[in-house]
Amino acid sequence: MQNTTAPVIIKGQYKGGLRNEMTHLKSNNTIMTDAPTDNHGKGEAFSPTDLVCGALAACMMTIMGITAQTHEFDIDGATYEVKKTMVTDPRRIGQIDIEISFPKHDYTDKQKAMLKAAADTCPVAKTLGSEVVVNVTMNF
């Protein structure tokens, strides 16, 4: 195993009815998951695969935020929309489309290139297998 950082601990409980409750111990933040309506659930909370897709977008934004902060410009107020497409046999995430809209600033070509490169280095993106198609659109 490569060098590692301190582990993060998440405790969870299956609540029945295809729902889980998970708590991030360091922050004590709690989230619920629910199975999606197309897989026997009620769809009343994020599904586990929704969390994966949302985590990808949030990770990209975080890494781009670090890049912007380091190079003394900002992307505060950027918004994003994530579209998850499931495939079958086996059931899994097949495609994730992310559209990011940045605030109206005069970003230089260099800043745009840095942001695109930063998004590509996000740890969640590096963790997803090559079977998942990821499309990212950045609107500056």
Report the predicted TM-score, pTM, of the whole model to 2 decimal places: 0.92
Architecture of domain 47-139: 2-Layer Sandwich (3.30)
**CA 14, 19, 23: angle at the middle one, nearest 5?**
60
Q: What is the pLDDT of residue 1?
A: 62
Question: Where do the domains of the chain lie?
Answer: 1-46, 47-139
pLDDT bracket for residue 111 (50, 70, 90): very high
Contact criterion met (CB below 8 Å) for 137 and 100: yes
Read off the tokens for 7. Answer: 């582990």
8 Å CB contact between 56 and 84? no
For residues 126 and 130, what is the distance between their CA atoms, to the nearest angstrom?
Answer: 9
Per-residue pLDDT of 18-75, as tens digits, reads 999 999 999 999 999 999 999 999 999 999 999 999 999 999 999 999 999 999 999 9
